[in-house]
Amino acid sequence: MSDRLEAAPSVHRFNRYEIKYLVEERKLPELHAHLSERMDRDRHQSSATRVSSLYYDTRDLRFYWEKIEGLRFRRKLRIRVYGAPESINDRSESFVELKQRVNRVTQKRRIRLSYAEARVLCDERRDPGGPPERAAVVQEVLVLTQNLDLRPTAITTYFRAGYMGREADLGLRVTIDHRVSGRDRDFHLASDCPNQFIIPPHLAVVEVKVDERAPTWFTDLAARLELSTVRISKYCKAIEAATNGPRAPQHAREFPGHDAPTPAASELVEP
C-alpha cells in the first residue's frame, strides 16, 4: 500500500451546499484567471487530474429516479479513483462514498481504502477490515448494498481542476470538470473500455461547494460570464445516454480527436 494511502485520514464527513453551472470551454481561461486571484489551486487536482467513479444502484434504478423526481431525501453509493486506467491496480488509493441530499444540504461520508478493499466491500458485500474509525461507514455501506441488492450500474469519467478558498472564503471550494464521459458496462475502473461523452465536450461543469452561501464576488463573476445554475447529475446523464442507445456510432470516444456531436445545452438540464 502506498505511503499516501497509509498516511491520509481514513474517514471524511461533511455537510455543504452545492451549486452547479455549465460553462463553455472558451470561457474557462477567464474563469481560471479570476479564481486564481482569490483562491488557491487544489494541489491534488490540476486540469489533468482524471476522476473516475463507479456508481451502484438497484435493478430498477431507484437512486436514479430519486434524483429525477427531486426527492427531498436521496442518496447514492460510488467508488471513486483518481488517475488514468493504466495506473490503477488493487493497491491504488480509492474512496467509497455515501452521498445523500437532505432538502438543500449535501452530506457525504467517505472512507479511504485500496481499490481491492473497495471491491470487497461494494461488490462482494464483505467487511474488508481496516482501521476501527471507518467501521461505522463500512457497516452503513454493507446494510445498503445488502438490503437494496445494489449492483454496479454506470461509470463516469472527467478531468478536474479544483480551487480552495482562503482567508474569508475558507469554506469555499470550486471544481471545474471537463470532457465528461461515461459508460454502462465493463465496470472495472482499470479497464481501457471506451467511454462516450455524456455532456458535450465544448461544455464544462462548474461546481461551487460552500458551507453557507456563495460569496458575492463569485456570483458577480458568474453573472459576468453569463453562467446559469443548472440541476444536472453526471450519474443521471450516464444512465440516460445508455438508455438512449449507448453504442450508436455517432457517439465519440473520450479520447482527443474523436469529438462528439454537441446537442443544445438545454438537453442536459434535468426537469
Q: How far, in Å, CA of 175 to CA of 187, rounded?
A: 25
Segment 157-200, tens digit of pLDDT? 999 999 999 888 888 999 999 999 999 999 999 998 989 999 99
Q: What are phi and psi of 265, to 5 degrees?
A: -60, -30
pLDDT at 115: 97
How much is the pTM? 0.83
Say which CATH number the domain at 171 has: 3.20.100.30
pLDDT at 45: 60
Is the distance from CB of 218 to CB of 224 less than 8 angstroms? no
Give me the DSSP letters along 93-154: EEEEEEEEEETTEEEEEEEEEEHHHHHHHHTS-------GGGHHHHHHHHHHHHHHT-EEEE
Segment 64-120, tens digit of pLDDT? 999 998 888 889 999 999 999 999 999 999 999 998 887 777 788 999 999 999 999
Question: In terms of DSSP bridges, do strands 203-210 and 11-24 run parallel, antiparallel, or are they unpaired?
Answer: antiparallel
Segment 212-264, tens digit of pLDDT? 788 899 999 999 999 888 989 999 999 998 865 433 333 333 333 333 333 34
pLDDT at 32: 95
Average pLDDT over every residue of 20-39 = 94
Q: What separation in angstroms does the CA of 241 have from each of 82, 236, 258?
A: 23, 9, 17
Q: How far, in Å, CA of 153 to CA of 158, rounded?
A: 17
Q: What share of the chain is helix, strand, coil (3-state, %, to 5)?
A: 30, 35, 35
Is the distance from CB of 234 to CB of 67 less than 8 angstroms? no
pLDDT at 244: 53
Q: How far, in Å, CA of 101 to CA of 111, rounded?
A: 18
pLDDT at residue 47 above 60? no
- Number of separate domains in the chain: 1
Q: Supply the range of the domain harboring residue 137.
A: 3-268
